[in-house]
Structure 1
Amino acid sequence: MQDTTQNHVMETVLFKLKDGVTTDAFLKAAEASVTYVENCSGFISRRLSGAAGTQWVETIEWASLADAEAASAGLAAAEGIGDFLAAVDETSVAMHHTQVQLSLR
């Protein structure tokens, strides 16, 4: 069986929420951002994990690095994403792109 994930890219974003942002408010904002992310070319999957007062991790699988970069480039102007971005402490953000080496389902 051919591995169709050989060129896929994992985008991993580590961040903290701004002071005063609750988990419930952040998750509501994250849900509002779903439409943008799901409609980006090359989107495969997205996971968001974390809890109030701790580091959050967002992992998005893309078909290619070009798809990930295009989605990032359009993020600031995307409809429905403003509250999500406003909740994140931008000084805490670290983003990495890595190529999928093994995928188990």
Structure 2
Amino acid sequence: MRQARYLNYLALAILALGVVTLAVGWYIAISGHALPQYGVILALGTVGAVACGLGYWSERPWIFGAGAVFMLWFAPTPLGLWPLGIGIAMLIAWAVLIVKENNVKFW
């Protein structure tokens, strides 16, 4: 995306956290024979990861943000809600910084 370098790094960290969380979720679901219970949820998270990646490489922050929320929300892991909380906090920080950098005013 065309923004400051630190925003690119933060966006890549969000994407990496989501992909690692999804990979752990897929591994746990397949190895624990829980694919019937978690397969649909993990598939939705994977769709979110694809949207997040496409939003990053096509330089569209709204698609990136929506994909990141979708990816983080639908990624069950044995760590509970910690990856979701960390990812959402990083996503909020990214959103605030990108709005400040682009001088977007909502009111």
Q: TM-score range by the shorter chain?
A: 0.3 to 0.5
| TM-score in terms of structure 2 length | 0.34
Higher helix proportion, which one? Answer: 2
Higher strand proportion, which one? Answer: 1
| TM-score in terms of structure 1 length | 0.34
Q: Select the structure with the greater relative contact order (CA < 8 A; seq sep ≥ 6).
A: 1
